[in-house]
């Protein structure tokens, strides 16, 4: 802090001020707009202001700033995100679309009932990596769709910070199986999740709203749902941003 230039310090303090006055739920957007200030120095400034507030007896403000210092600190590290969902919902495609590294391919020729649906299925997991903003690295883990690999779901979900559940809108007979995946995940890890509705370009596709109802979400406790085309890099990146925003809102377990 001592060595920080005066001008730089002012910029950080201004951002802290904005963070304190911005509407609840908008913090992540504010940070996105000030991406160049989301650095270890910001964490330092947040903690120092928090300490000062605490000394002045403003405990809630201090707690709030400390919370954000921890969230930002965490953001600058690696975030592990899982992409789950039934066979052929688009998990491998999603990760291939956004990853900056060659995706570790564990797709094998499908032999069982999956073969009717597609030629190849993931038998271990997909792994991709993505630099998101100057300080943030995302590691993406795609689960295999078939339930005989549920030990792999278990390993991945226990390690993940948050996940996207992909569901194909044109295969309603899989909605019940998808609910099973969701409750499996929920039992193992209480982490932020969003629903990504895929295959909405199919003529048989259900609407996003109806898919959500079929998954058992009726009311305001439902997770955010987005339409996503995993084949499209922009669409997949938008879904990741949606997951990050949601994670910021509900908080990530550190
Ligand atoms: N038309 C259309 N095709 C899609 C969409 N999403 C995925 N696909 C296609 O669906 C097929 C299956 O996608 P995968 O990414 O292999 O599915 P997966 O979820 O990894 O499947 P498993 O590994 O077997 O569980 C691929 O041919 C994708 O290109 C979509 O929104 N629309
Ligand atoms: Mg796959």
Calculate ∠ Cα 109-164-140, nearest 5°: 65
Q: Give me the pLDDT at residue 200, please.
A: 98
- 247 vs 109, higher pLDDT: 247
Q: Give residue ranges with CB within 6 A of ligand 1.
A: 85, 87-93, 118, 121-122, 144-145, 198-199, 201, 229-231
As a whole number of angstroms, the distance between CA 124 and CA 121 comes to: 9
- The distance from CA 105 to its chain's CA centroid, rounded to whole angstroms, is 22
Least confident of 11-15, 83-87, 119-123, 190-194: 119-123
Least confident of 14-28, 96-110, 190-204: 96-110
Whether the predicted pLDDT of 87 surpasses 80: yes
pLDDT in tens, 227-253: 999 999 999 999 999 999 898 888 776
Residue 67 alpha carbon to ligand 1 centre in Å: 38
Predicted TM-score of the model (pTM): 0.76
Mutate to test the pocket of ligand 1, among 82, 230, 235, 236 (most ligand atoms within 8 A of CB): 230
Whether the predicted pLDDT of 153 surpasses 80: yes
As a whole number of angstroms, the distance between CA 222 and CA 218 comes to: 7
pLDDT in tens, 26-56: 888 888 889 889 888 898 899 999 999 999 9
- 83 vs 27, higher pLDDT: 83
Half-sphere exposure of 68 (CA within 13 A, CB side): 30
| Nearest Cα residue to atom 9 of ligand 1 | 90
Place 3 in a pLDDT band, splitting at 50, 70 and 90. low
Task: Give the mean pLDDT of 2-17.
Answer: 86
Alpha helices per DSSP H over the chain: 6-21, 27-33, 40-55, 59-75, 91-98, 150-159, 175-188, 208-214, 233-250
Going from the N-terminus, what domains does the chain have, and what CATH number goes with each? 6-75 (no CATH), 78-250 (3.40.50.300)
Q: Give me the pLDDT at residue 162, please.
A: 96
Residue 106 alpha carbon to ligand 1 centre in Å: 15
Task: Give the mean pLDDT of 154-158.
Answer: 90
Whether the predicted pLDDT of 145 surpasses 70: yes
Residue 94 alpha carbon to ligand 2 centre in Å: 9
- Quick one: tokens of 32? 């996105």
Bridge partners (DSSP) listed for residue 244: none
Place 167 in a pLDDT band, splitting at 50, 70 and 90. very high
């Amino acid at each position: 802090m001592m060595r920080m230039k005066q001008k730089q310090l002012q910029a950080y303090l201004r951002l802290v001020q904005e963070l304190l006055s911005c509407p609840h739920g908008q913090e992540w957007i504010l940070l996105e707009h000030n991406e160049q200030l989301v650095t270890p120095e910001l964490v330092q400034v947040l903690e120092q202001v928090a300490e000062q507030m605490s000394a002045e007896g403003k405990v809630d403000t201090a707690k709030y700033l400390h919370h954000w210092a921890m969230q930002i600190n965490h953001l600058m590290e690696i975030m592990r995100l899982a992409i789950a969902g039934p066979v052929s919902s688009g998990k491998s495609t999603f990760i291939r679309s956004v990853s900056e590294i060659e995706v570790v391919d564990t797709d094998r020729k499908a032999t069982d009932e999956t073969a009717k649906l597609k030629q190849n299925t993931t038998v271990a997991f997909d792994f991709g990596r993505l630099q998101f903003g100057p300080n943030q690295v995302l590691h993406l883990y795609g689960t295999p769709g078939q339930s005989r690999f549920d030990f792999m779901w278990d390993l991945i979900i226990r390690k993940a910070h948050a996940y996207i559940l992909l569901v194909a809108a044109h295969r309603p007979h899989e909605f019940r199986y998808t609910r099973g995946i969701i409750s499996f995940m929920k039992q193992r890890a209480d982490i932020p999740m969003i629903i990504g509705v895929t295959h909405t370009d199919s003529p048989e596709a259900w609407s996003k709203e109806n898919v959500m109802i079929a998954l058992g979400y009726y009311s305001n406790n439902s997770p955010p749902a987005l339409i996503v085309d995993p084949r499209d890099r922009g669409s997949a990146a938008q879904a990741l941003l949606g997951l990050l925003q949601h994670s910021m809102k509900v908080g990530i377990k550190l």
